[in-house]
Structure 1
Amino acid sequence: MSYKRSDFVPFSADSGRVGANLEAAYEQWLDAQQQLATLPVSMYWQRKASGDYLAVKQRSSDPGTTLGPRSDATEARFAEFTQRKAELKQRIADADALIGDRAAQYRALRLPPIPDRQAEILRALDVAELLRNDLLVVGTNAFIAYSLLCNARFPAGVEETEDFDLAWCRGSAVSLARTNAGAPQRSSLMSVLQGVDPTFRLNRKKPYQAVNANHYEVELLMAPSLAPLPKGEAFEPMVSLTEQEWLLEGRPLSVVVATLRQRACPLYVPDPRWMALHKLWLAGKPERNALKKPKDRRQGEVLLSACRYFLADTYPLDIDFVLELPAELRDLFDAWARAGGFDPTRPTA
Structure 2
Amino acid sequence: MDHVDPTLVSLRVKRAQEMGFTAGQLRGDQWQHVAHGVVRPAFFAVDPISAKVADAVALMGRANVLGGWASLWVQGNTWFDGSNRAGDPRDVLVHCLAGSQLRVRPGILPSQADLHPDEIDTLGHYDVTTLARSAHDEMRMASNLREAVVVLDMAVSTTSKVAHTTLGAVRRVIDSHRKTRGIVQARNALELGTARSASPWETRTRLLAQLDVGIKELKVNVPVFDLSENLLGVADLIDPETGLVIESDGAEHRELSRHTDDNVREEKFERAGLVVCRVTSLDHADRWATVGRINRAWTDAARTSRRLWTLEQPDWWTSWPPARRWA
TM-score, normalized by length of structure 1? Answer: 0.37
